[in-house]
Structure 1
């Protein structure tokens, strides 16, 4: 009888435990990859951590942030499943979409606009006024996953019948920030960049506007994409919740201005079609192969 009473007490105690006390399985963290928009990884991580924390709250799921220091590397990490969500350059996104089915869900806004420009810069004493003056000079592209630093200027040069390796005296590939710095220091004659980066470096005091000049500007290009790896992009409910969270960043900036760097004003919904101009340039340069 004593043993039976003990069993009955245990059973009653178990039944009295509220369901809310039983721990639910922890949600698997989302891995957010961000391109190197700032001069170094530490600053980049600090800049985009508020956005990662905001998404974690909005999606009710942990978000792990990491900076990937090349656009090509970020595209590969999204394609091979190491990254779930990426804030990445347009060409990197197109590569990840073409090779692994990654999908754009939103585009970042800069001063309220979803577009930006590729540029070519030189120092004021170089004597360079146009691309015709670049023959035999040193020229730097960004890494091969960069839209404005590589794909778009390469495409424009090809339309002019120019092969960089034979036209320029020396061709380099380096980071956007290094291109701007080395041009102002007269280490490089010229290089490719994008207007947002040059403006930001001037605003931060990293370079002086009078130490460089723009001599070529592209047509408008779609801004950086928020893209999902294919498996996650197939989850329509998750896509809808992520888009709603991203669109909510703009209004939230009034209370949390650190959510995005200066001049970035939120996100707008977009999809793969918005990045068609980048895809067309990739096909035209042979960097993408047309699908059968």
Structure 2
């Protein structure tokens, strides 16, 4: 069973099904003859699915994957390379004329994150603000103001909204992923020319394939093998492209594991102090 947390099950089903159809026939030697997709509305529901053994394999961004590891004991299987990128980071940016230079300057100011599931535009930057000693305060809207000793934050949902809010001075700073920062479709040059980067988080894995904690080791080993070989198989090319523009799966090396450990601690801190 392949799982995904989704707010658009129909669209995600169409992205997941081709890869599942590719994988299942290659799992026959370990007794797998069929596969299904199970969507969850949020991390809590997916945690329940994993604990009850209803889902075997989950594809998620790194921050959410670490939540599932912490709450359900799910284990990282492989890193997922999307669009040729296996790592990314959060980028804090402000208007050039804002006078803001560092994270410390955000005290008493406002920042726009993307959403509560984003690694690069919520979990990682929020964790770094907390680690830097900042107090974070959620705001009712971009028009709301924080206490003078707090960094106020709001969720803008899309990268374009974040850019617009910073450009129009509705918020003082925004955070997007390093990929989105370099993507003119997400941050139009007319806006970006007025922006300046004041901080970047450490690098984190772009996405992860996770398995439930008690999955049969033979099934886990074969799934890892099939996914690692997929990038070199022409028969998998279309399925990988549909699977969130995946260009390959990568073993988890020591550097990536350290980044995941750091992220897991950051996610736990964000959840404890902000949620």
Q: Measure how far apart 1:95 and its partner are.
A: 2.5
Where do 5+ consecutive residues of structure 2 fail to align? Answer: 138-146
Aligned residues: 249
> For residues 5 and 230 of structure 2, what CA distance do their matches in structure 1 show?
17
Q: CA deviation at 1:116?
A: 1.7
Q: Distance in 1 between matches of 2:4 and 2:60?
A: 8
1:170 maps to 152
| 8 Å CA contact 1:79, 1:100 repeated in 2 | yes
Higher-Rg structure is 1
Aligned match of 1:23: none
Contact 2:240 2:247 in 1 (8 A): no
Contact persistence 2:163–2:174 (CA under 8 A)? no
The answer to whether 1:211 aligns with 2:191 is yes
Deviations 1:81-106 (A, max 9, x none): 44321111223222222333211111
Q: Which residue does the alignment assign to 1:265?
A: 247
The aligned runs of 1:198-237 (5 Å cut-off) are 198-199=181-182, 202=184, 205=185, 207-212=187-192, 213=195, 214-232=197-215, 235-237=216-218
Unmatched tracts of structure 1, length 5 or more: 1-29
Closer/same/farther in 2, CA of residues 140 and 88 from structure 1, 3 Å limit: same
Report SS of the residue matched to 1:88.
strand
Q: Is the 8 A contact 1:102 1:229 kept in 2?
A: yes
Separation in structure 1 between the aligned mates of residue 36 and residue 92 of structure 2, nearest angstrom: 35
2:13 aligned to 21, 45, 55, which one?
45
Three-state SS of the structure 2 residue aligned to 1:63 is: coil
Q: Does 1:58 align with 2:26?
A: yes
Q: What's the Cα RMSD here?
A: 3.6
Task: Provide TM-score, normalisation by structure 2.
Answer: 0.71
